[in-house]
Homo-oligomer: A and B are copies of this chain.
């Protein structure tokens, strides 16, 4: 059964088959059984299937075609709105408009998202995470009408796979896993960890196509540049303030 987890790949192309509403409901029920902070269930999931709304969401995800093509788009949100409203109706003084509460609910939103993804894969569906969610959170808030204390954290597109892509490579386990305490990396360790990736034909071609000298430069200059990261950091911090999580 662990094999299904080992078979994971990101699926970006879907057949036209709709997801049965009973199946979707079952997957969402399973998702809500996942661990969450203090059983407050302080997160929310917006299920978008409407074509017009998907079209409105699309620019926030830089028009990646999955948003419009997938039968279902799920936006997982940090959400202390419902819980705060409940407290206010019960003579209780809520204090969740702060960064620690944001972290707790953002973590819970991601735990739910990954639970959904695994359940969906077990059911034969394919998923894709969209990291653009924290880049353009404000645009998503506007389309999905998210109130104060609700912030989108990640988006998943889901549908039946039209193509099962090859699995992507992974670094050796010791790149990610440390035993007992953190073992920082020597220059030689870095060389060893990345050597298989860097010498592969696939990545050599990728570097060449991008007109760069090293694979790392493709990341720093094109995919995840300092300038963009800093721009989107300011933008997301502004959203956290506006939505009330940095009081």
Contact assessment for A100 and B229 in the assembled complex, using a CB-CB cutoff below 8 Å: yes
Residue A180 CB within 8 A of the other chain: yes
Given A53-B180, A177-B28, A178-B45, A226 contacting B93 (CB threshold 8 A): yes
The 8 A CB mask of A42-75 against B (1 = contact, 0 = none) is 0111111110010000000000000000000000
The 8 A CB mask of A107-120 against B (1 = contact, 0 = none) is 10011111101110
Contact assessment for B182 and A34 in the assembled complex, using a CB-CB cutoff below 8 Å: no
Q: How many identical subunits does the complex contain?
A: 2
Contact assessment for A229 and B53 in the assembled complex, using a CB-CB cutoff below 8 Å: no
Residue A85 CB within 8 A of the other chain: yes
Residue A123 CB within 8 A of the other chain: yes
Given A92-B214, A217-B92, A229-B98, A145 contacting B181 (CB threshold 8 A): yes
Contact assessment for A101 and B2 in the assembled complex, using a CB-CB cutoff below 8 Å: no
Instruction: Give the complex CA separation of A187 and B184 in angstroms.
Output: 53
Contact assessment for B45 and A122 in the assembled complex, using a CB-CB cutoff below 8 Å: no
Among B47, B100, B181, which residue has its beta carbon within 8 angstroms of that of A236?
B100
Instruction: Give the complex CA separation of A168 and B41 in angstroms.
Output: 12
Q: Which residues of B contact A146 (CB under 8 A)?
A: 182
Q: Which residues of B contact A221 (CB under 8 A)?
A: 92-93
Chain A residues packing against B (C-beta within 8 Å): 1-2, 4-6, 8, 10, 25-30, 32-35, 37-41, 43-50, 53, 81-83, 85-87, 89-96, 98-101, 103-104, 106-107, 110-115, 117-119, 122-123, 127, 129, 131, 134-135, 143-147, 150, 153-154, 167-171, 173, 175-182, 184-185, 187, 190-191, 193-194, 213-217, 219-221, 223-227, 229-230, 232-233, 236-237
3 residue pairs, one from A and one from B, having the closest CB atoms: A95-B226, A92-B216, A90-B216
Q: What are 17 of the A-B contact pairs (CB < 8 Å)?
A: A6-B29, A32-B173, A35-B114, A37-B131, A45-B176, A45-B178, A49-B180, A82-B193, A90-B215, A92-B214, A95-B227, A98-B226, A98-B229, A99-B233, A103-B134, A145-B181, A147-B182
